[in-house]
Amino acid sequence: MLNEIVKDAEVRMAKSIESLVDHFKRIRTGRAHPSILDSLTISYYGSDVPITQVANVSVEDSRTLAINPWEKQMVSVIEKAIMKSDLGLNPSTNGDTIRLPMPALTEETRKGYIRQARQEAENGRVSVRNVRRDANGTIKDLLKDKEVSEDEGRRAEDQVQKLTDKYVAEVDKLLEQKETDLMEI
């Protein structure tokens, strides 16, 4: 029973890390990368779909994305969606192709993105700690109901703490990598 609690905690902590990585992908670094558009949805025949389901997104050069919609009428829809998004990008249309030039990051915008990355990392740490709290609460309930011994409960809490330390270190490592990416010119 305690092993199940620890395994569940590990799975949930891993999901927190996946979520953090997803949030970090949305913070642009000045280099063109198709994952910048992952959060963008397009209205396609009455339903919202990711841009990758209506167009081919490719890297043209280090600072430009090329978007080739599969249907010509989608060009204006995709262009409007990009302009309405909070990505701060200005698309330019050339017939069937939409080009997205990535503006160079100024020192001020870099610092703003670093603040955003640090906030996301802190949210990731809090999420991992919340999983620890939940797991420890479940263990304490089992102890209170005398379903497990004190030694087993202590061992399980130690395992959960080791997992917490491991995943918080992973968050710190991811943040350091993102900060390095953001400070590159």
Within 8 A by CB and 6+ apart from 110, the residues are 182, 183
Q: Which class does domain 2-26+106-183 fall in?
A: mainly alpha
Q: Would you say the CATH fold of 34-101 matches that of 2-26+106-183?
A: no
User: Does 9 have pLDDT greater than 90?
Assistant: yes
Report which listed range, 38-47, 69-78, 79-88, 113-122, is most confident.
Answer: 113-122
Q: What are residue 48's DSSP bridge partners?
A: 43
- pLDDT, tens digit, 9 for 90 and up, residues 102-129: 877 788 888 888 899 999 999 999 999 9
Q: What would the DSSP string read from start to end of 107-155? A: HHHHHHHHHHHHHHHHHHHHHHHHHHHHHHHHHHHHHHTTSS-HHHHHH
What are the domain boundaries of the chain?
2-26+106-183, 34-101
Of the chain, the percentage scoring pLDDT greater than 90 comes to 35
User: Does 136 have pLDDT greater than 90?
Assistant: yes
* Whole-number pLDDT of residue 54: 87
Q: Which two tokens stand for residue 152?
A: 């087993």
User: Does 35 have pLDDT greater than 90?
Assistant: no
How far apart CA 60 and CA 66 sit, in angstroms, is: 6
Per CATH, the number for 34-101 is 3.30.1360.40
* Whole-number pLDDT of residue 96: 86
Within 8 A by CB and 6+ apart from 161, the residues are 132
User: Does 101 have pLDDT greater than 90?
Assistant: no
* Whole-number pLDDT of residue 185: 62
- pLDDT, tens digit, 9 for 90 and up, residues 147-185: 888 898 899 999 999 999 999 999 999 999 988 888 876
Within 8 A by CB and 6+ apart from 137, the residues are none
Between residues 182 and 14, the one the model is more confident about = 14
Tell me what the mean pLDDT of segment 19-38 comes to.
79
Mean pLDDT, the chain, rounded, equals 87
Tell me what the mean pLDDT of segment 136-156 comes to.
90
